[in-house]
């Protein structure tokens, strides 16, 4: 019955997404070299690890019931993420739940392939369901690129405040739209031998439109969404924070390859406030 329901869902989505059956993926090619450059995986805090590339952050939450992977980079990030997970001593196939900060090709490029290889479930913020199913072709800004990542069928739709629980760890999804319609952050508590850490995996609501807000007719709520996210995010309380791009939270200023375990380097409220402030500046221009 469960399979039957999924089959129906796929058929409906094909029907409303013309050509999705035979579509080719055209991943944009003029990307920053830092997106594809390898980076050593490391333990951020407790059972949270960095397994992404030099700039495209991917996070692994390790539990006794399997693991959660957040963000999958470009299509060519798959091998790096897999290698990074194994280098830390974990099993790639132990991924049970896949999440993303946002439905863009630089975070979902390898998602469909990783989902297929691991059999993990993909859970997504309600606002991004059309974009993940169309491979970005329905995106209000990046649709010019057509299908920019392999389309993904979600297994579960998440709403603001929903819990994602696996083993001893619970993540809370926070709806922070504006960059995409279903951009979101995750909050979780992790523990090491010394203490517990409240961690925010943030989606900074950067504004990528070349137009003014008023001209974005395919996402009329964009202005309100960015303003809502910036305001809400300003009030969040946490011990340490990271983000979808390493450059957004200054990973390479805070940590050098080979550095020992030290979650405290990511306790940077000032940098977080500044990142939000930078978006406010662009907001006012738009």
Instruction: By CB under 5 A, name the binding residues for Zn ion.
Output: 104
Which residues contact residue 17 at a Cβ distance below 8 angstroms, ignoring those fewer than 6 apart? 133, 134, 137, 151
104/176 with CB nearer Zn ion: 104
Q: Cα(196)–Cα(189) distance, rounded to whole angstroms?
A: 7
Q: Cα(156)–Cα(162) distance, rounded to whole angstroms?
A: 11
81/207 with CB nearer Zn ion: 207
Which residues contact residue 163 at a Cβ distance below 8 angstroms, ignoring those fewer than 6 apart? 170, 171, 172, 173
Smallest CA-to-CA distance from 55 within 92, 106, 113, 104 is with 106
104/175 with CB nearer Zn ion: 104
Query: Considering the complex, what minimum distance in angstroms separates the CB of residue 22 from Zn ion?
Result: 27
Query: Considering the complex, what minimum distance in angstroms separates the CB of residue 104 from Zn ion?
Result: 3
6/211 with CB nearer Zn ion: 211
Crossing angle of helices 222-234 and 269-285, rounded to 10°: 160
47/102 with CB nearer Zn ion: 102
Query: Considering the complex, what minimum distance in angstroms separates the CB of residue 167 from Zn ion?
Result: 30
Query: What stretches of 93-188 show up as alpha helix (H) in DSSP?
Result: 105-108, 111-118, 129-134
Which residues contact residue 66 at a Cβ distance below 8 angstroms, ignoring those fewer than 6 apart? 94, 95, 96, 97, 166, 167
Query: Considering the complex, what minimum distance in angstroms separates the CB of residue 207 from Zn ion?
Result: 11
Query: Considering the complex, what minimum distance in angstroms separates the CB of residue 66 from Zn ion?
Result: 27
Please identify the residue of the shown chain whose CB is closest to the bound Zn ion. Answer: 104
196/278 with CB nearer Zn ion: 278
Tokens 């080719």 correspond to 24
Query: Considering the complex, what minimum distance in angstroms separates the CB of residue 105 from Zn ion?
Result: 8
């Amino acid at each position: 019955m469960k399979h039957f329901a999924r089959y129906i869902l796929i058929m409906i989505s094909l029907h409303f997404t013309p050509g999705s059956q035979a579509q080719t993926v055209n991943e944009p090619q003029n990307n920053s070299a830092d997106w594809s450059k390898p980076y050593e995986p490391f333990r951020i805090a407790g059972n949270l690890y960095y397994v992404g590339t030099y700039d495209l952050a991917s996070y692994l939450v390790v539990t006794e019931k399997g693991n959660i992977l957040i963000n999958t980079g470009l299509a060519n990030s798959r091998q790096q993420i897999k290698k990074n997970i194994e280098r830390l001593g974990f099993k790639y196939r132990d991924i049970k739940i896949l999440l993303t900060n946002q439905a863009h090709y630089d975070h979902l490029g390898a998602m469909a392939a990783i989902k297929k290889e691991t059999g993990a479930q993909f859970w997504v913020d309600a606002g991004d369901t059309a974009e993940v199913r169309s491979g970005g072709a329905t995106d209000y800004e990046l649709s010019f690129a057509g299908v920019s990542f392999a389309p993904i069928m979600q297994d579960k739709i998440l709403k603001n405040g929903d819990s994602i629980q696996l083993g001893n760890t619970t993540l809370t999804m926070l709806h922070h739209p504006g960059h995409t319609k279903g951009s979101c952050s995750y909050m979780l508590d992790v523990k090491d031998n010394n203490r517990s850490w409240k961690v925010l995996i943030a989606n900074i609501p950067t504004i990528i439109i070349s137009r003014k807000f008023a001209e974005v007719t395919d996402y009329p709520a964009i202005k309100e969404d960015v303003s809502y996210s910036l305001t809400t995010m300003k009030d969040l309380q946490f011990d340490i924070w990271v983000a979808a791009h390493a450059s957004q939270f200054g990973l390479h200023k805070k940590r050098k390859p080979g550095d020992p375990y030290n979650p405290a380097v990511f306790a940077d409220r000032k940098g977080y406030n500044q990142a939000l402030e930078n978006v406010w500046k662009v907001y006012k221009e738009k």
